[in-house]
């Protein structure tokens, strides 16, 4: 298969599932296939490491290490007859990543999407600001005004910074995963769902037992499993219905306005949307810190 | 989880420890909230009773070392007395969504598709490459 005109988005998606396609691959001839997976993982590692917005000497040496790992394992592509040689300019370019990052900083301002983004600012938004008649002169006028506002803003900021004499530089800090906050809708997706519905429709016979155990665990921290199950079995539940939510959303902490939703977990039974189309059942998988009993919510990231 | 302090580990330790240490994988089956009066009645001892809860089905603990053949971590459904092992957890302990790749085997069963595979397949690989944010969790 030959790929042409692949957009950045499509590239990212391919990277996201490529591993799944090759991890259990079978090839004729009894060749050692682990090399294919290792070579692909090495390149994917490199690709993801190169996108970091902050580097340490450790992540940079990992970047160099993954390129070395690719070269160690790449011979399998020649053995399989897929590739005759590796004289590919893009492949050669990878050698320069670590050095470029050391010299000029991270790669997060280098991409090919900038011109696409500017098309939105300079053409699309500008066109929408017009009344669609004689748009060219309106657009140039609008852009000129935008620029003037921008310059005036900058001038005000500059003057104010002189008054306050405050250093406004923000420090990036060490490499870590952004702290996230959890957002849940204010209104539940279903207001009062009885336990019997959860039992039958959701197919969760253990729901009430699990709820009893959870309550017992929270009220008696330190109970061992067996005692917990006994205690949980005796826990009275003073309610028969719960409010159910379909989404958990994650925003980058501190600046929810700026960054928006960065991750989401969807949980629902098969349902119909407003137009009557069926939305298939969905229960996402998640990474959980600890045992989920709230022992310490300060996880390393 | 409003304010999570940055976490510093010495680099050498960082390399040696399993990136997943302390984490578990589970499938969320329902996200819910108990009626307000009931919460204060049930969790009498707590000032800040847990608000949002989730019923999750566990996967096996993430192994300390990845599969030596290709270096990828593998998990399976966890069962207990013939049932899928499940618990109720606080929603705050969910760190992020995680992408699992089914272990297809030599031939993929015909009844598997995007909507059924999580139910029908038992063993999965953890995909660290779903996006850059999730990759950061895994390095």
Structural domain contains residue B4: no
Q: Decide: helix, strand or coil at residue A225.
A: helix
pLDDT for B107 equals 82
Query: Which one of A12, A15, A23, A204 makes the best mutation probe of the B interface by having the most chain B beta carbons within 10 Å?
Result: A23
Alpha-carbon distance of A214 to A259, in angstroms, equals 34
Structural domain contains residue B3: no
Kindly tell me if the per-residue pLDDT of B7 is higher than 70.
no
Structural domain contains residue B41: yes
The owner of tokens 């700026």 is: A258
Q: Locate A41 and state its tokens.
A: 């993982």
Cα separation values, A299 from A55, A180, A249, A287, B22, Å: 22, 11, 18, 11, 8
Q: What one-character DSSP code corresponds to residue B65?
A: S
Structural domain contains residue B90: yes
Longest dimension (CA), chain A: 79
Alpha-carbon distance of A176 to A58, in angstroms, equals 13
pTM of the model: 0.75
Which of A264, A292, A251 is CA-nearest to residue B25?
Answer: A292
H or E stretch covering A204:
none
Cβ proximity of A263 and A250 under 8 Å: yes
Which of A30, A31, A108, B101 is CA-nearest to residue A39?
Answer: A31
Residue A7 φ/ψ, nearest 5 degrees: -80, 165
pLDDT for B5 equals 37
Inter-chain touch B29–A204, beta carbons under 8 Å: yes
**Of residues B34 and B60, which shows the higher confidence score?**
B60
Domain that residue B53 falls in: 11-138
Q: What one-character DSSP code corresponds to residue B62?
A: P
Where residue B15 falls among pLDDT bands split at 50, 70, 90? very low
Q: Which residues on chain A are in Cβ contact (under 8 Å) with B100?
A: 285
Structural domain contains residue B63: yes
Alpha-carbon distance of A145 to B111, in angstroms, equals 60
How many Cβ atoms sit within 10 Å of the Cβ of residue A7?
A: 11
Structural domain contains residue B46: yes
How many Cβ atoms sit within 10 Å of the Cβ of residue A162?
A: 8
Q: What one-character DSSP code corresponds to residue A240?
A: S
Structural domain contains residue B129: yes
**Of residues B68 and A64, which shows the higher confidence score?**
A64
Kindly tell me if the per-residue pLDDT of B33 is higher than 70.
yes
Along the 301 residues of chain A, how does pLDDT read in single tens digits? 667 777 778 888 899 888 888 888 776 666 677 888 889 999 999 999 998 888 889 899 999 999 999 999 998 888 888 888 898 888 888 999 999 899 988 887 776 566 677 888 888 999 999 999 889 999 999 999 999 999 999 999 888 876 665 555 555 555 666 667 888 888 998 888 999 888 888 888 888 888 988 888 888 877 777 777 777 777 788 888 999 999 999 887 665 455 678 889 999 988 888 888 888 889 999 999 887 665 444 444 4
Q: Decide: helix, strand or coil at residue B110.
A: coil
Residue of chain A with shortest Cα separation from B33: A243
Give pLDDT tens digits for B46-64. Answer: 777 888 999 999 999 999 8
Structural domain contains residue B1: no
**Interface subset of B 5-34, CB within 8 angstroms of A:** 5-9, 11, 14-15, 22-34
Give pLDDT tens digits for B73-119. Answer: 999 999 988 888 999 999 988 988 999 999 988 788 899 988 889 99
Mean pLDDT throughout B11-40?
Answer: 75
Rg (Cα) of chain B, in Å, rounded? 18
Kindly tell me if the per-residue pLDDT of B43 is higher than 50.
yes
User: Which residue among A244, A248, A289 places its CB closest to the CB of B23?
Assistant: A289
Residue of chain B with shortest Cα separation from A38: B70
Alpha-carbon distance of A202 to A193, in angstroms, equals 11
pLDDT for A116 equals 74
Domain count, chain B: 1
Inter-chain touch B70–A202, beta carbons under 8 Å: no
Residue of chain A with shortest Cα separation from B105: A24
Q: Locate A131 and state its tokens.
A: 């009344």
Cβ proximity of B58 and A212 under 8 Å: no
């Amino acid at each position: 298969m030959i790929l042409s005109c692949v957009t950045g988005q499509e590239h990212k998606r391919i990277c996201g599932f490529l591993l799944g396609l090759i991890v259990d691959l079978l090839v004729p001839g009894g060749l050692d296939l682990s090399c294919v997976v290792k070579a692909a993982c090495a390149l994917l590692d490199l690709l993801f490491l190169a996108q970091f917005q902050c580097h340490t000497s450790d992540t940079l040496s990992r970047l160099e290490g993954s390129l070395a790992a690719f070269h160690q394992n790449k011979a399998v592509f020649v053995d399989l007859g897929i590739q005759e040689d590796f004289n590919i300019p893009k492949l050669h370019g990878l050698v320069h990543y670590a050095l470029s990052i050391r010299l000029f900083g991270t790669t997060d301002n280098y991409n090919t999407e900038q011109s696409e983004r500017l098309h939105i600012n300079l053409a699309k938004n500008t066109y929408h600001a017009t009344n669609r008649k004689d748009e060219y002169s309106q657009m140039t006028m609008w852009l000129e005004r935008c620029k003037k506002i921008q310059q005036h803003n900058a001038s005000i900021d500059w003057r104010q910074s002189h008054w306050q004499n405050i250093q406004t530089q923000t420090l990036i800090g060490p490499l870590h995963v952004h702290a996230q906050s959890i957002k849940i809708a204010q209104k539940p997706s279903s207001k009062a769902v009885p336990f019997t519905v959860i039992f039958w429709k959701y197919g969760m016979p253990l729901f009430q037992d699990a709820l009893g155990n959870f309550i017992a665990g929270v009220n008696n921290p330190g109970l061992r499993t067996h005692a917990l199950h006994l205690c949980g079995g005796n826990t009275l539940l003073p309610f028969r219905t719960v409010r159910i939510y379909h989404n958990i959303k994650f925003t980058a902490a501190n600046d929810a306005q700026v960054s928006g939703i960065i991750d989401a977990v969807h949980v629902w039974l098969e349902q119909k949307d407003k137009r009557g189309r069926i939305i298939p059942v969905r229960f996402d998988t998640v990474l959980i810190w600890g045992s989920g009993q709230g022992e310490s919510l300060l996880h390393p990231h | 989880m409003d304010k999570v302090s940055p976490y510093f580990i010495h680099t050498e330790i960082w390399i040696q420890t399993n990136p997943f240490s302390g984490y578990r994988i589970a499938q969320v089956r329902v996200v819910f909230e108990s009626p307000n009066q009931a919460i204060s009645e049930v969790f009498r001892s707590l000032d800040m009773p847990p608000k949002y809860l989730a019923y999750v089905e566990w996967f096996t603990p993430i192994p300390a070392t990845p599969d030596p053949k290709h270096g990828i971590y593998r998990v399976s459904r966890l069962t207990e007395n013939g049932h899928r092992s499940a618990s109720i957890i606080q929603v705050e302990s969910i760190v992020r969504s995680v992408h699992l790749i089914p272990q297809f085997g030599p031939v993929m069963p015909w009844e598997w598709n995007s909507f059924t595979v999580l139910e029908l397949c038992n063993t999965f690989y953890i995909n660290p490459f779903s996006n850059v944010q999730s990759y950061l969790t895994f390095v």
